[in-house]
Amino acid sequence: MPHEGTAEGRPRRRTAATRVAALACVGLAWGQAGAFAADQKLRDLTELTPEQLANIEVTSVAKKPEKRSRTPAAVYVITRDQIRRSGVTTLVDALRLAPGIHVARIDSNKWAVGIRGFASSLTRSVLVMIDGRTVYTPLFAGTYWEVQDTLLEDVERIEVIRGPGGSLWGANAVNGVINIITRGSRDTQGAFVKAGGGTMEHGMAGIRYGGTAGEGVTYRAYAKGFERGAGFHATTSDFDDWRMARAGFRTDWERTSGDTVRVHLTNGGTMTHSIDFHASQTAMNHQMVEIEPGGTFTYTFTADYAGVWMYHCGTAPALHHIANGMFGMVIVEPKGGLPKVDQEFAFVQSEWYLGKQKEPVDYAKAASGAPAPDFVVFNGIANQYKDNPLQVTSGGRVRVFILDAGPSIDSSFHVVGTIFNTVVKEGMQLLPNNPGGYGSQAVDLSPAQGAFVEFTMPEDGLYPMVTHAFNFVGKGAIGIFMAGDGDPKN
Ligand SMILES: [Cu+2]
């Protein structure tokens, strides 16, 4: 089961890890082109325009992701955060968080749940599912809410559709669909314990443990129990006090080796843009689509191949969009991750072909058969790491991820005074302690090629990094690593 590569706080994964380094995207006139938001950073809904709200993605209505505005249904999503803040202790009480669902309590252990006013203890004509498994009981054409529960901390979200779910969900869903989606077992690793008590709910406790079982297989098991007091009954005995215990498990097998990456691109500019991730495999007219000003697009891919990858705007002429800074680096680590080093850096080399002040780059200059850039830079700014040297430790192991974003000029990345004993470039590798004891002095990268290199500063001092095409060093393609205090004599 694929999962998103941006879930919070999980231990370092054993499969490929992906880092999206939004290094560049330093557009000039098109400045706001790249508004990237990782999935875990849910944007405050109040900041969205009505159009952006209409473009929110929902999946329960048509069993596939689609724009909110294109769904013929009233959809509401109860999020995990809402459930956590609400303090509810049962699944059925959590439904109160969605407007338009009537949750009435009949007695201490019975509820009437309904949509569109048809509330009854059987919740008639509402299809209820937990992780796609229907918990609607054909025997009495309803849902027995008393026994539908799970550890609320494991609920990812509850999608509620009010109104007919259509034939897609079957004839039961005349009044609505309630789809309870729990978190993947990979996101619930380790132990979790909770306990509480009160006047009504005399005591409750829950425990969960999640672990792994071989390559790509994760699981969790939980147990939950509570004892509730009876309601107030003036004339009868306490017939509705209630105690219950339940246990369950979930296991996931992840078939693919790479993370699933989802990138939301909102075009805040005044012309169309698009995005092209070289780390992905997708048809150009499927995901590298033109995004109109104000529009949003979610680009989804599985990072199946390790490497240092480029992404960029592909809107024609791509040369002009890339030359304006609409590009960046995606690092996909190999299975098992990269070995730990003392310091890591990431540099994107690119060119500037300046236009008039406050205007985009000069397209004619950039499009020349013999391009003569005004600046060749690391991470967008000429000489920035010469003016502010990068501090390293002599004797420590340094890893540099390097990408040549171009748009047109090659890079020959070299660090003066060092020898790369590790070079992994476009899937080919030089590794330490190789037979013959070979090393490397410079990495040649054509536009859109990436690599990482590892090396060690032998002593304190200054170690310039350059593209060894020296005509461009004077145009900004130089930086300095400073080992120790920068003085070999100390
Ligand atoms: Cu663009």
Residue 222 has pLDDT above 80, yes or no: yes
Percent of the chain at pLDDT exceeding 70: 88
Residue 45 has pLDDT above 70, yes or no: no
Average pLDDT (362-385) is 97
**pLDDT top residue among 219 and 117:** 219
The alpha-helical segments, DSSP class H, found in 75-144 are 80-86, 91-94
CA 111: distance to chain centroid?
38
| CB contact at 8 A, 305 and 327 | no
| Distance (Å) from CA 409 to ligand 1 centroid | 20
Confidence (pLDDT) at 106: 86
Beta partners for residue 445, in sequence order? 411
- The pLDDT tens digits for 230-265 are 877 777 777 778 888 999 999 998 765 688 899 999
- What does the DSSP assignment read for 228-239? E-----SSS--T
Confidence (pLDDT) at 166: 52
Per the structure, the count of domains in the chain is: 1
| CB contact at 8 A, 423 and 442 | no
Q: Is residue 473 part of a domain?
A: yes
* Cα–Cα distance measured from residue 487 to residue 485, given in angstroms and rounded to the nearest whole number: 6
Classified as helix, coil or strand, 156 is strand
| Distance (Å) from CA 264 to ligand 1 centroid | 15
Q: Is residue 319 part of a domain?
A: no
Range of weakest confidence among 122-126, 247-251, 370-374, 443-447: 122-126
Residue 478 parent element (H or E): strand 478-483
CB atoms < 10 A from the CB of 146, how many?
14
| Distance (Å) from CA 326 to ligand 1 centroid | 6
| Distance (Å) from CA 291 to ligand 1 centroid | 9
Give, as residue ranges, everything with CB less than 5 Å from ion ligand 1: 273, 313, 315, 321, 326
**pLDDT top residue among 379 and 69:** 379
Strands 66-67 and 57-58 come out as: antiparallel
Q: Is residue 442 part of a domain?
A: yes
| Distance (Å) from CA 24 to ligand 1 centroid | 13
What is each CA distance from 100 to 61, 124, 176, in whole angstroms?
17, 15, 10
Average pLDDT (297-315) is 95
- What's the pTM value of the predicted model, to 2 decimals? 0.54
Average pLDDT (100-120) is 86
Residue 221 parent element (H or E): strand 217-228
Confidence (pLDDT) at 25: 33
Q: Is residue 98 part of a domain?
A: no
- The CATH number for 368's domain is 2.60.40.420
Average pLDDT (139-163) is 85
Q: Is residue 387 part of a domain?
A: yes
| Distance (Å) from CA 311 to ligand 1 centroid | 11
Strands 390-392 and 478-483 come out as: parallel
Confidence (pLDDT) at 255: 67
HSE, side-chain direction, 13 A CA sphere, residue 469: 16
| Distance (Å) from CA 316 to ligand 1 centroid | 8
| Distance (Å) from CA 293 to ligand 1 centroid | 11
| Distance (Å) from CA 301 to ligand 1 centroid | 20
- The pLDDT tens digits for 316-352 are 999 999 999 999 999 999 887 898 899 999 999 999 9
| Distance (Å) from CA 324 to ligand 1 centroid | 8
Burial of 341 (0-12, 13-18, 19+ CB in 10 A): middle
| Distance (Å) from CA 23 to ligand 1 centroid | 16
Range of weakest confidence among 61-65, 105-109, 152-156, 346-350: 61-65
| Distance (Å) from CA 32 to ligand 1 centroid | 10
| Distance (Å) from CA 376 to ligand 1 centroid | 20
Range of the domain at 446: 339-490
Range of weakest confidence among 15-29, 187-201, 271-285, 447-461: 15-29
**pLDDT top residue among 46 and 184:** 184
Q: Is residue 344 part of a domain?
A: yes
| Distance (Å) from CA 320 to ligand 1 centroid | 8
Confidence (pLDDT) at 76: 86
- The pLDDT tens digits for 332-342 are 998 878 988 99
Q: Is residue 417 part of a domain?
A: yes
| Distance (Å) from CA 224 to ligand 1 centroid | 52
Range of weakest confidence among 42-51, 243-252, 459-468: 42-51
Confidence (pLDDT) at 257: 64
| CB contact at 8 A, 462 and 486 | yes
Residue 402 has pLDDT above 60, yes or no: yes
| Distance (Å) from CA 237 to ligand 1 centroid | 72
| Distance (Å) from CA 365 to ligand 1 centroid | 18
| Mean pLDDT across the chain | 85
* Cα–Cα distance measured from residue 324 to residue 330, given in angstroms and rounded to the nearest whole number: 19
| CB contact at 8 A, 379 and 348 | yes
Confidence (pLDDT) at 321: 97
| Distance (Å) from CA 315 to ligand 1 centroid | 5
Percent of the chain at pLDDT exceeding 90: 56
| CB contact at 8 A, 183 and 112 | no
| Distance (Å) from CA 356 to ligand 1 centroid | 19
| Distance (Å) from CA 378 to ligand 1 centroid | 20
Q: Is residue 9 part of a domain?
A: no
Residue 213 has pLDDT above 80, yes or no: yes
| Distance (Å) from CA 120 to ligand 1 centroid | 54
